[in-house]
């Protein structure tokens, strides 16, 4: 394989000089065959051979200087047609150089080359051809100027089209790679948010319940044991959720993946909150049952984080969760899922900022924005805290952001 790659590299480097050398040799041989195959009364001495060699020299430099080589080839044809003593093959070097010029520089260069070469060909025919102007001989020689230029332009256009296709394919590939990286980044961010929500909710619940258990250990051992059982359950649920998320990252893992959590799982939070002293009331509109997975998951995580904030910043209190689906007032093609989480307040050792600028609140806003919605949070007029989210839902149930 390495040897093959080395050979390909050598050929790509020396292909041009080898092809030019072969073209020079074939052209030279063709002209010499015509020279020595001419009638005996035509001179065929060293001067004619030297003239033929000079005529073929522009072929060797046509790739490096296409314009100059074509111009020199036409001048040499005009100047050496007499000494060379050949007429059929004398135009081959100019034809090859004409093709190279048009293939390299395209249509405009070919047009100017044709305009410059036609008078030279006509002058040569007037001086050395015995035929009249309107004859097949004139047409054939003029075609030897036009055809290589036309073929060269066609080659130039084809190469340009191929290059455009290659660039378009490379651009599409880069776009696909960038889109894949963007999706990977978004998925990592989503998983990081899920991990934050699961761990934060579980750790806060465990922290509060552990405090309650320590307080009741001497006074009410039975209640303390119940609290410890709640801690075990909450931590077990959190580990199950984390195992499910890791299963998404390792699709070949044999561990079962827990279904995505939605609004129907909000009731599952009630028991853990009750053991921590939070009396939770949940009301879910039956019309909110059929939701896109992304909207349902975002809604559940928003409620979970809002209740985690209640545990962290408020402590024992009463909280309410209301989920309703309402028609959109401005767009009949979408409904709005309204989520409201309120608490009655309490003694908060670490109260929330009144502007709602905590990390948890920022995560809730990002989740709402991810499905095209919005979220507001702030203190209630009669005490406590309120979180309100509006998540758009397509009427046909196909998506959230519409």
- Note the pLDDT of residue 397: 46
Positions of CATH 3.30.565.10 in the chain: 263-402
Residue 356 is predicted with a pLDDT of 47
Closest CA to 97 of 83, 76, 81: 76
Residue 357 has pLDDT above 60, yes or no: no
Residues of the chain above pLDDT 70, percent: 70
Contact status, residue 342 vs residue 384, Cβ threshold 8 Å: yes
Q: Say yes or no to pLDDT of 183 above 70.
A: yes
Mean pLDDT within 253-282: 71
Above 60 in pLDDT, residue 355?
A: no
| CA gap 292, 113 in Å, rounded | 67
Could you give the CA distance from residue 1 to residue 8 in angstroms, rounded to a whole number? 11
Tell me the CA distances in angstroms from 147 to 20, 58, 143, 153, one per residue in order.
Answer: 20, 19, 6, 10
Residue 7: pLDDT band by 50, 70, 90 thresholds?
low
pLDDT > 90 in the chain, percent: 0
- CATH fold for domain 263-402: Heat Shock Protein 90 (3.30.565)
Distance CA 227, CA 216 (A): 9
- For residue 365, the model assigns a pLDDT of 87
Question: Given a cut of 50, is residue 48 above it in pLDDT?
Answer: yes
Give the pLDDT score at 294: 81
Q: Going by C-beta distance under 8 Å and a sequence separation of 6 or more, which residues neighbour residue 291?
A: 262, 263, 299, 337, 393, 397
Q: pTM for the full model?
A: 0.46
Distance CA 364, CA 366 (A): 5
pLDDT of 174 reads: 83
Sheet holding 374-379, edge to edge: 278-284, 317-327, 334-343, 385-394, 374-379
Mean pLDDT, the chain, integer? 76
pLDDT band, residue 217 (cuts 50/70/90): low
Other beta carbons within 10 angstroms of residue 288's beta carbon come to 22
**pLDDT computed for residue 368 by the predictor:** 85
């Amino acid at each position: 394989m390495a040897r093959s790659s080395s050979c390909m590299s050598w050929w790509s480097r020396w292909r041009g000089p080898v092809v030019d050398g072969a073209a020079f040799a074939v052209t030279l041989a063709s002209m010499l065959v015509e020279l020595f195959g001419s009638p005996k009364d035509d001179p065929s001495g060293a001067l004619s051979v030297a003239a033929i060699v000079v005529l073929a020299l522009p072929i060797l430099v046509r790739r490096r200087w296409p314009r100059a080589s074509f111009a020199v080839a036409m001048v040499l044809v005009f100047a050496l047609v007499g000494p060379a003593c050949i007429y059929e093959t004398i135009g081959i070097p100019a034809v090859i150089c004409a093709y190279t010029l048009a293939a390299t520089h395209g249509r405009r260069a070919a047009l100017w080359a044709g305009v410059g070469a036609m008078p030279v060909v006509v002058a040569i025919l007037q001086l050395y051809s015995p035929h009249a102007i309107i004859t097949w001989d004139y047409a054939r020689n003029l075609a030897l100027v036009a055809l290589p230029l036309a073929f060269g332009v066609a080659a130039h256009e084809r190469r340009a089209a191929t290059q455009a296709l290659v660039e378009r394919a490379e651009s599409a590939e880069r776009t696909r790679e960038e889109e894949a990286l963007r999706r990977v980044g978004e998925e990592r961010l989503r998983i990081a948010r899920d991990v934050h929500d699961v761990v934060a909710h579980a750790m806060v619940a465990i922290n509060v319940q552990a405090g309650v258990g320590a307080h009741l250990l001497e006074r009410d051992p039975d209640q303390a044991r119940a609290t410890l059982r709640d801690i075990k359950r909450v931590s077990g649920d959190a580990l199950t959720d984390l195992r499910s998320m890791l299963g998404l990252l390792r699709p070949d893992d044999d561990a079962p993946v827990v279904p995505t959590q939605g609004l129907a799982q909000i009731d599952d939070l009630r028991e853990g909150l009750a053991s921590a002293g939070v009396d939770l009331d949940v009301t879910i509109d039956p019309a909110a049952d059929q939701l896109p997975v992304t909207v349902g998951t975002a809604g559940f995580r928003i409620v979970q984080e809002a209740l985690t904030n209640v545990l962290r910043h408020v402590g024992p209190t009463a909280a309410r969760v209301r989920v309703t689906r309402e028609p959109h007032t401005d767009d009949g093609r979408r409904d709005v899922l309204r989520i409201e989480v309120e608490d009655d307040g309490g003694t908060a050792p670490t109260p929330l900022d009144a502007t709602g600028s905590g990390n948890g609140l920022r995560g809730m806003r990002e989740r709402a924005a991810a499905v095209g919605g919005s979220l507001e949070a702030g203190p209630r007029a009669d005490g406590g805290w309120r979180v309100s989210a509006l998540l758009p839902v397509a009427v046909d149930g196909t998506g959230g952001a519409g």
